A = this chain, B = another copy of it.
Amino acid sequence: MAIHALIFDVFGTLLDWHGGVAREASRLLAPVRPDIDGGAFARAWRDRYQPAMEPVRRGERAWTDLDTLHAEGLDGVLAQFGVEGLTPEIKRELVLAWHRLDAWPEVPAALTRLRGGFLLAPCSNAHVRLAIAHARRNALPWDAILGAEFARDYKPKPAVYLRAAEALGLPPGEVMMVAAHTSDLVAAAGCGLATAHIARPDENGPGTGEAAPAAPVDVAASDLADLARRLGC
């Protein structure tokens, strides 16, 4: 393999979305509903994420960013938990919970090592402004912000992976997709990209994530520091 760039899934692979949204939900809901479990709230919200992107993927809805989809999903989650009477300001703060996610501990240093050998960009369903918030909060040393908004479509549509490779000036086979989710890697491999799996067995609670890839990949790593070692950085 002659890999010159790495592109990354973000939610779960690099960032602890579950812990971050749980923390912010607990904090923001405490004044009205201290009984709600932030983790359960985060998981219920995340469950609405894949279906919300479907109309965009099918071309039935124009490009719509995750802040908008999260805001639309929030009303359903609040109804599900029986929460009433939140101000628009609190709802807005809840949507911004997705901007306030922390990286898994090894990620910033491992990315900095990887940057010595590869071009680096997120290839996430996060829009540019959301990716900037993640990068600034966690000092992620991106060369560019690629992914859904750049292609104006959502993974796993091929355009998202292929436009990222094109922007990096590389054929797909010289770009490696890095993700903690086999489905993302299978889609990338279908576009000709190399693939690396990152184990996140406890992505949203013990035993909830993938400890190993469920399909063939080029590299299977225990975390991002392990990937950096395997790639010689």
Contact = CB atoms under 8 A, between A and B. Distances in A.
A143 B149 contact: no
Given A145-B144, A145-B145, A150-B150, A167 B136 contact: no
A144 B145 CA distance: 5
A33 interface: no
Interface string A112-143: 00000001000000011101100110000001
Interface residues of A, number: 18
Contact of A167 (B128, B143, B167): B128
Given A135-B143, A144-B132, A145-B145, A167 B127 contact: yes
| Copies assembled | 2
A168 interface: yes
A132 B119 contact: yes
A144 B67 CA distance: 18
A169 interface: yes
Nearest to A65: B169
Interface string A197-223: 000000000000000000000000000
Given A143-B135, A143-B136, A149 B128 contact: no
A132 B143 CA distance: 6
Interface string A62-74: 0000010000000
Interface of A: 67, 119, 127-129, 131-132, 135-136, 143-146, 149-150, 167-169
Given A128-B168, A150-B150, 11 more contacts: A128-B144, A128-B146, A128-B169, A129-B167, A129-B168, A131-B144, A132-B143, A132-B144, A136-B143, A144-B145, A149-B167
